[in-house]
Amino acid sequence: MLLLEPIKVGKITLKNRIMFPPMTTGYEERDGSIGQQSFNFYKRLAQGGVSYIVLGDVAPVNTVSPTPKLFHDGQIEAFAKLANALHSYDCKLGIQIFHPEYDVDALAEMFKKGDMQAARAKLHHDMLHYIDEVTEEQLSAILEKIGACVKRAYQAGVDVVEVHGDRLVGALCSPILNHREDQYGGSFENRTRFALMVVKTIKANAPDICIDYKLPIITENPLRGKGGLKIDEAISLAKILEEAGVDMIHVGQANHTGNMNDTIPAMGTQPYCFMSKYTKQIKEAVHIPVSSVGRILTPENGEAMIENGVCDIIGLGRSLLTDPDYVHKLEKGEAHRIRHCMMCNKGCTDAIQNRKFLSCVLNAENGYEYERVITPAITKKKVVIVGGGPAGMEAARVARLKGHDVVLFEKETTLGGQLNIACIPPRKSEMTRGIHYLTNEMKELNVDLRLGKEACANCIMEENPDHVIIAVGAYNIVPPIDGSKQPHVLDAWKVLNHEQLPSGEVVVIGGGLVGAETAELLAEMGCHVTIVEMLDEIAKEESSTVRPTMFETFGKHHVTLLTQTKVTQINPTHIKAQKADEEITIPCDYVVLAVGAKPQTFDITPLIEKGIDVHFIGDCHEKASDINHAIEEGYLIANSL
């Protein structure tokens, strides 16, 4: 398998072709140092078999950005500890050296004084103009700091320095962002001058260190990205970088777009391997190894890219968050057991944008590496689980890995629970990967499945369980609106599952995620849809990387969005609603209810009376929530048994 073959890069050799590309993690300490959470995360990736890990956004200055920092000698020890840990698994450590596109020193002083208003104004100004206004003297000072950082990295045992070709470097390269008229602006030679000076500085301060260069491409049709270069100039720069002594090139989508979805696309918003055509052009122009990223999901994807001359090394970011043992499973011939990323962006990209740490909705251990570990049970027990949705299946998976006997009841003839309808709306079909993984694990781990059978306390007791886990999910609420039980009033969950089929003029009551996705599906099926929502925002729970695409669909199909509006009555041909002080009438052929969900109840009285240990998890536990909540509860409860 090509993915598992070693490759020589400069003076080092990578044991395979799979790298963890630079990602903002939020695991670092407040001062940017490598703390325990960060250390554990990267060590766990190395333990899983990846050959090369790049720490994203390592600053050579004391920025206000929440990123790793290596700007003084006291930080060397932590980087050395991490390098040693990775080396013990024959994994190479890279740091992506970057400088923000703002005046770090000036901004730091404002934050130090507590003048937040001035700092915000300064940051806004700099993000628009710093590339044009930074002086040559300041750029020279930045180069000195980069050089000192590289020396520290080399002293710490770091194997690779990757130039962050986006941010300051890429913005200076950019024909879109750079409006300078001095030696750093105008011509291609001038715009790329600073980038080459960074490479020269690295070589001067650590002659033996391997140099990687993140080459961001401003993609076209449509135009995406502003930092970096369009493909023709990128090819020219790649050749020059090779001549300058760069050992490998990492091709990615250019940033500075205002939407994280352009660089980390959510499910269904970009093709798989969407950077391939650009990467291949870079690969064909140079003789050094080239790596690629961009919705590369399966081993088959990566294998084909290498086979077809697109690149030499595959960057798996979100995929390795979901399954850090991706490489080991390939090595063991168990590719079918890889837990594949759904690319929902819920736990990773959204978390970072909300200033939380990186996580994955399918992997409860992500962010808690070596704290959450599935350990063998001291005593083998009988565990009965009721409900075959994500919470129930995750609990079954973990309980079996601990060594318990597990019986799982599911009233339907298929597993997956609400995931089966969650994957139906536009772009959401990739959520089936969550179902496929968990369902396959039930087979691989020999969980005793009782499908098509609705469990009750008596039939559970017939199994003589030591523990019972209830994961029966939730149900769609029917609100107490006058007329809500008429035949043309439908259930959003049944509409999503194609059990109920509205047509014509449709009013969706409820503009949360379920209502918005139902409306989007119906609009694409030819219905004219109106969403009525009591609050002031539609699809508030949706990923910020997905919402713009959803609202584009609403605009394309002329979906009417009514916020701060309360439905007061449903009639056969229309609904009545209150918007502020005005009563409005909306014609409709069908009404779809999507106002929320309530936990399903399950009578556990006979189990409690018999002294059996019972736990509720997922949507039936206290309140209906999301897949992240379901997986985490299933994992934690089962691992505690």
Q: Which residues are catalytic?
A: 167
φ/ψ region of 475 (left if φ > 0, alpha if ψ in -120 to 50, else beta) reads beta
CB 256 within 8 A of CB 171: yes
d(CA 523, CA 538): 16
> What is the enclosing helix (H) or strand (E) of 144?
helix 136-156
Burial class (CB in 10 A: 0-12, 13-18, 19+), 457: buried
In 10 A of CB 113, how many CB atoms?
10
Burial class (CB in 10 A: 0-12, 13-18, 19+), 29: middle
d(CA 565, CA 584): 9
Structure tokens of 434? 């969550």
CA-CA-CA-CA dihedral for 214, 220, 224, 230, to nearest 10:
40
d(CA 123, CA 106): 10
d(CA 443, CA 92): 36
In 10 A of CB 260, how many CB atoms?
20
Strand, helix or coil for residue 96: strand
Question: What residues contact 232, with CB distance under 8 A and at least 6 apart?
Answer: none
Q: Give the chain's radius of gyration (CA, Å).
A: 27
Structure tokens of 464? 């003589």
Structure tokens of 263? 């660089």
Question: What residues contact 525, with CB distance under 8 A and at least 6 apart?
Answer: none
Max Cα separation, the chain? 83
CB 181 within 8 A of CB 187: no
d(CA 45, CA 16): 14
CB 559 within 8 A of CB 511: no
Residue 50 CA: distances (Å) to CA of 205, 215, 297, 365: 28, 22, 15, 18
CB 529 within 8 A of CB 508: yes
> What is the enclosing helix (H) or strand (E) of 56?
strand 52-58
In 10 A of CB 336, how many CB atoms?
10
Question: What residues contact 219, with CB distance under 8 A and at least 6 apart?
Answer: 225, 231, 253, 254, 275, 278
CB 146 within 8 A of CB 202: yes
Q: Going edge to edge, which strands form the sheet with 565-570?
A: 565-570, 574-579, 582-587
d(CA 14, CA 3): 11
